[in-house]
Amino acid sequence: MTGEARRPRARDLGIRIGTMATGPLNAITDVPGVRVGHATIIEGDGPLRVGTGPIRSGVTVLIPHGGDVWREPVFAASHVLNGNGEMTGLEWVREAGMLGGAVAITNTHSVGVVRDALVTEGIRSQPPGAFFWSLPIVGETWDGVLNDTDGMHVKPEHVVAALAGARSGPVAEGNVGGGTGMICHEFKGGIGTASRRLAATDGAWTVGVLVQANYGHRRLLRIDGVPVGAEIGVDQVPSPYGPESPGEATWNAPEAPPASQARERDGSIIIIVATDAPLIPTQCARVAQRAGLGLARAGSFGATTSGDIFLCFANGNLAVPQPENRGPGPGVSTVRLLRDQALDPIFEATVEATEEAIVNALVAAETMTGRDGLTAHRLPHDRLREVMARFGRLHD
């Protein structure tokens, strides 16, 4: 399992999101060819010393298909719900509708080194002297509450390790990879994943989602429609941001909280959607947009200081020629695409899988103490089950 022990998931607790069938693993790796790898860095305790630690960070990588991802692009598109964040390489995705290479997610101040490491690994994968270029996709969320983010501890060797460890099969969730230091709805957050398998009459396509969840106010968290954040308030499980609860005393005060505090409380999320359906870029864009509906169901409104950036890629059309590859003949390639009406089940699958991936990130995450003794507590499983049962949404 990408080098990490399996942690509990929503369905282990009796929580089922939506009505569609999951894939066998209920993970993005249910999409054929997709692999995931993590490199996790946890070092030191105590007061922050920039450049030394404590370190609570890492990097997560996704491999889009089973071939040469550096030379064989897939169709892709992005959607930005709120843009206070970064994902490199999107200009070319928007221009050409193609994704080439691995995708990575890390912390805000490590985007550059991860991007450069992906370029280096792409070069290494090619024959000596071969012409090669890459504009890799690297997304980020801020882990500075728990991590020495300014110390930039993610190094090229961590990217190499994550790539080498990328596997199909179950995906480690919670405090792993890029999600190591992340916070979600004022609980410990991180990496989460889920999938949906369409009915045979709808094409039997698979839709998989992976999130790096680092956003949200406690009071807004909803799971399967249940107001879990209101039921498990900061009086029961403390917020890592201090005793005041956003949306109550702090948010309603005459003066807004400091910008740094607002940034920490609003946070960000990266959502990656993968499918084996034969989608073209405009259809990928429509699917990426639907990830925002799953995010909204979990309790986000896309705050001003939140970076909510989504990417959808579809590996149902392989052998898509690279733009610089002229090839013989008149330059015509044949691709498949779904009729637009056939997209509706994929939209539904994306919404359900996104919501469940976020819940899996929360359920799998474990309490973590980081710099300066700040602690992000996990979502307590027993209390969560009590709340879900009281609202009639627990399935044992």
Distance of alpha carbon 197 from alpha carbon 31, whole angstroms = 9
pLDDT in tens, 36-70: 999 999 999 999 999 999 999 999 999 999 999 99
Residue where the block lists tokens 């969730």: 173
* Mean pLDDT value across residues 310-327: 82
pLDDT at residue 130 in the model: 87
Distance of alpha carbon 366 from alpha carbon 355, whole angstroms = 19
Pick the CATH number of 10-322+336-386 from 1.10.10.60, 1.20.1730.10, 3.60.70.12, 3.40.630.30: 3.60.70.12
pLDDT at residue 247 in the model: 37
| 282 pLDDT more than 60 | yes
Identify the band that residue 6 occupies on the pLDDT scale cut at 50, 70 and 90: confident
pLDDT in tens, 244-260: 433 333 333 334 444 34
Q: What is the CA radius of gyration of the chain?
A: 20
Environment class of 152 (CB within 10 Å of its CB; exposed 0-12, middle 13-18, buried 19+): middle
pLDDT at residue 258 in the model: 44
Q: How many Cβ atoms from other residues are within 10 Å of residue 336's Cβ? A: 10
* Mean pLDDT value across residues 125-142: 93
Q: pTM of the predicted model, to two decimals?
A: 0.93
| 202 pLDDT more than 60 | yes
Specify whether the CB–CB gap between 363 and 8 falls below 8 A. yes
- Tell how strand 368-369 and strand 375-376 pair up: antiparallel
Q: Any idea what DSSP says for residue 321? A: P
pLDDT at residue 348 in the model: 98
**Half-sphere exposure for 8 (CA within 13 Å, toward CB):** 17
pLDDT at residue 311 in the model: 98
Q: What are the residue numbers of the active site?
A: 268, 306, 308
Environment class of 325 (CB within 10 Å of its CB; exposed 0-12, middle 13-18, buried 19+): exposed
Mean predicted lDDT score pLDDT of the chain? 92
* Mean pLDDT value across residues 269-284: 98
